[in-house]
Chain A
Amino acid sequence: MAVLLVDRRGFKEVGNLIPNRKRMRRRGAASAPAIRMARVLLPRSRKPVSLFISLAGVLLAFALNASPAMALSLNPDAASPGIEDGNTLHWILFVVILVVIVAVNLAILRAARPRTRAVSPKQGRNVSQVKLAVGLSVFALALFVVATIFSDKSREIPAVNAEPVAGQVKGEPLQIRATGSQWLWRFDYPNASFSYRRLVVPAGVTVQLDLESTDVVHGWNLPELTGKAQAIPGKTNSIYFRADEPGIYENRSSMLSGQGYDTMGIEVHVVPPAEYEAAIDLLRKEIQFAQDKVEAEFELERKKSEISEMQAEKTENQIQNNQIESAASE
């Protein structure tokens, strides 16, 4: 439908330049039902601007209908201090980009407008290229300065909490190692306990997350707390965050890492510090318990095999003795 409208507009646009425009109009009328439908659906106007606006309107309506809560969320909810700066920068850039896009495209539409009378070749003054370049440079420099300020702020290590939690050196962030493997994350806590898939961190505590990988490049991705960072084998990528409120944050890894990539989830539970200590204590106990169990089983297996070996030796000796005896008796 929209296409036909574009075509009709296209013909109208150059109407005075094309000798057989009446014939073209008649051709358009051949598919009248479609055009009538399009007219009902889209606002009638002579300018193709309306097409863009209606298109954008349709998209926006779709987006709004889809999930009202999501439609206006340009950014994730910031749960760590650095994310807020990134969000502010994104808002600034979003407005700048939108203005640039709209201005450029309106200029293109205006340039391509149908000519009803001849434009004299002298029309329009020439802007000095040097002035234009200087203006653009100032604009670019201003953008760079703004981007640098907010990027610096977003990369700052959040202020370290006064009261250290278990495993944290006073005055330094809590160090946790996150290791990506195909296709899960392993988290190593300071007290030698570890967990798979789910990270538990205390609220209000600055965490240093050391990203590593055992096999391929994995993409750490948690918009609300840290943003994205690559976990690369043989290199440590440290990111810092401080979750202020308890909560559960979930997402999935962001770099293609093989066939299980779409199931490689990231789950972070932010809990109050007391619960954190209990949780990693529990983890350590569970690990200890599991290790003890495995070791006990292993020990049992070892003993069993020893016994069976001894028995086998015994029977072998017996057989040999019997053979020797029988040989002797013969």
Chain B
Amino acid sequence: MSRTTSYPQSMPPTRPEISSDGPKPRQARWAELASSADHKDVGRILISSAFGSVFLAALELLLLRLQLAVPSNVFLDGITFDRLLSVYGETAIFLVAMPLIIGLLYYVVPLQIGARTTAIPRVGQIGLWMFIFGGILLYGSFLFTPPEAGINPLPPFSDATFSPNNGVDVWITSTGLVTLGLLMVAIDLLTTLHNLRAPGMAWRRAPLFTWAGAIVTWLFVVVAPIFLAAITMLMIDRLGGGGFFAGDSGGSPILWQHLSYIFFTAIYMSAAITFLAAIGEIVQTFTGRELPRKSVTRSMIAIAIIGTLAWSQNMLTAPIPSGWKYFGMFMAIALIVPFGLIFYNLISTVSKSDFHMRAPLRFALGALSLASIGLAAEIAQSTIAVATQLSQTYDAWAATHFALIGFVVFGGFAAVTYWYPKMTGQQLNEDRANKSFGLMFVGTLIAVLPLFLAGVAGQVTDSYRYFSFEDFEVYNLIAAVGTLILFVGIVLAVGNLIMSRHEEPAATPDPYRGDSLEWLALSPPPAHNFDVLPDVRSTRPMRDIREAIVRRDNETAEAESAAQPVA
């Protein structure tokens, strides 16, 4: 077996204080996993289901693009297309982005702050199972009526009058279960963050990813109840004519747009914050340089606040007072500042240093590249005069997909590739990871770039067919080919994550000479995470520990050499 991963393992092997394997499992592995309230088990289940769902989302996207590849196609009929579209949207947001964000944070952050457990682990465990049942409900609904009212089911259409079957009920229940479950996990993480940091781990010394954890969980605690309230209102409307979203009884359909777009925008921003922080960790580790912490953490807070307040940039064509529209436009354009700062710092740090180009860094730079295209294209989407032309076209679709595929899929693979040795105790096959990266990157470019042109030419989203006189077929044909490449790349990458478990050599606790505390634990960490908790004295506790070990070894050697002549 030849692979590119044969880097020297630079960590000195002697660390006598970390030796425990933890208690031996008393049950079968799967039973242990299913009944576990350990944050690492919960986090791993969340991350694995997110990657399973990445495969499903890519498959659904491929089917949608194949239907649109040629004009007046009859591959899927209208109702099947609407169902696949709705399920694709829900999978991408609720079963890929959200569990990946929360799962990664829930796995890594307690390790980074030196916590032996989370504060209220049973709450996290209940949250995990609510999430799982939500996912099962959504895909189980293919046996009866899957959701069919679009990615965001706007109320008069999702009311009982116009969507009489159970599709919207399934959407409400499954998104509600997933959101509530992940909210509980987030609350557990937030409590842990505020109560169980290791001695000396002040906020000013907390790693970037921990900061992202704090910001994202706070944001989630604020916006998830808004969404839960909105779907509850929709459910009451559907069950008994509550009239929250009906225009003729004091409610308004626009209320739903406000509430749902606040939540969706916040999830978009959470994805950006989480994966930019993960990319920051990767860049810091592989370049050996620190990012300017104050600037990056403040930018992340700014993205959370400003980004969520920019929700009304999704509603520039709705009949709302124009003050709302200018407010949304201002906030969306103001996002240039925090995003620009983070992008500048990440890229210049890589640029100024000597680094080993390894798979996590490759994925991280790919994520930055794709996300930069998406975020820049969103500028045009958020101005009133252009949005009246381009909203609800494939131009908007392409911008969102570039940003979210960049952050969630590429950022997600970067983070998982980076923490893979820690999570599994096995090295990742970087050769295959690099191959899948190439396929995914080229696939994304070919799949989404032409859709900018289709959107500018006027192709509207959510329609299951177009006609040959509309002149969209070239773009859609290229996009279908690109989606196929992207799908193959994702299958390879997910397959690599599974296969490396059994083929690769074991990983050491600290394969990259990382600076944060998760690299102090064994790979994979025992149930109690750490035998000994260090006293954190700087932003780079692991470097301090390595230096202390070297110093102690030198002292021992000196003492021995000094003792020799006497003896």
| Chain A interface residues (CB < 8 Å from chain B) | 2-3, 6-7, 10-11, 13-14, 17-20, 23-24, 27, 55-56, 59, 62-63, 65-67, 70, 73-76, 85-86, 89-90, 93-94, 96-97, 100-101, 104-105, 107-108, 110-112, 114-115, 118-119, 121, 123-124, 126-127, 129, 132-133, 136-137, 139-140, 143-144, 147-148, 150-151, 153-155, 182, 211, 213, 215-217, 219, 221, 223, 226-230, 232-237, 251-259, 261-262
Contact = CB atoms under 8 A, between A and B. Distances in A.
B294 A129 contact: yes
Given A108-B369, A121-B354, A211-B319, 5 more contacts: A111-B347, A121-B288, A213-B156, A259-B78, A262-B78
Given A104-B343, A144-B329, A217 B154 contact: yes
The 10 closest A-B pairs by CB, nearest first: A234-B247, A227-B388, A124-B352, A237-B319, A6-B438, A111-B351, A151-B384, A66-B474, A86-B385, A216-B157
A241 to B, nearest CB: 11
B430 to A, nearest CB: 10
Contact of B474 (A62, A127, A139, A148): A62
B438 A3 contact: yes
Interface string B374-385: 001101100111
Given A111-B351, A234-B246, A217 B439 contact: no
Nearest to A140: B336
B352 A97 contact: no
Contacts of A223: 389, 458
Interface in B100-134: none
Nearest to B373: A101
Interface string B443-477: 00110011001001110101111100001011100
Contacts of B449: 56, 59
B236 interface: no
19 contacts: A3-B435, A24-B4, A66-B471, A90-B385, A105-B369, A114-B357, A115-B354, A126-B292, A140-B334, A147-B329, A154-B385, A182-B162, A213-B156, A219-B392, A227-B388, A227-B389, A230-B318, A235-B252, A237-B319
Contacts of B446: 55, 59
A14 to B, nearest CB: 5
B337 interface: yes
Nearest to B162: A216
Contact of A255 (B2, B336, B383, B392): B392
B326 interface: yes
Contact of B333 (A19, A70, A147): A147
B318 A147 contact: no
A115 to B, nearest CB: 6
Contacts of A253: 460
B286 to A, nearest CB: 11
Contacts of A70: 457, 471
A261 B471 CA distance: 19
A39 to B, nearest CB: 17
Contacts of B475: 63, 66
Nearest to B295: A129
B79 to A, nearest CB: 7
Contact of A143 (B253, B336, B385, B465): B336
Most buried by A among B79, B322, B377: B377
B218 interface: no
A142 B449 CA distance: 27
B248 A234 contact: yes
B434 interface: yes
Contact of B292 (A13, A76, A129): A129
Nearest to B337: A136
B347 A104 contact: yes
A26 B356 CA distance: 22
Point out which of B246, B322, B347 has the most chain A C-beta atoms below 10 A from its C-beta: B347
A7 B457 CA distance: 35
B67 to A, nearest CB: 12
Given A3-B438, A216-B154, A73 B457 contact: yes
A105 B372 contact: yes
B295 A85 contact: no
A110 B351 contact: yes
A59 B478 contact: yes
A108 B340 CA distance: 14
Contacts of B154: 216-217, 255
B348 interface: yes
B529 interface: no
A76 B389 contact: yes
Nearest to B349: A111
A254 B460 contact: yes
A14 B379 contact: no
B330 interface: yes
Contacts of A112: 350, 357, 365
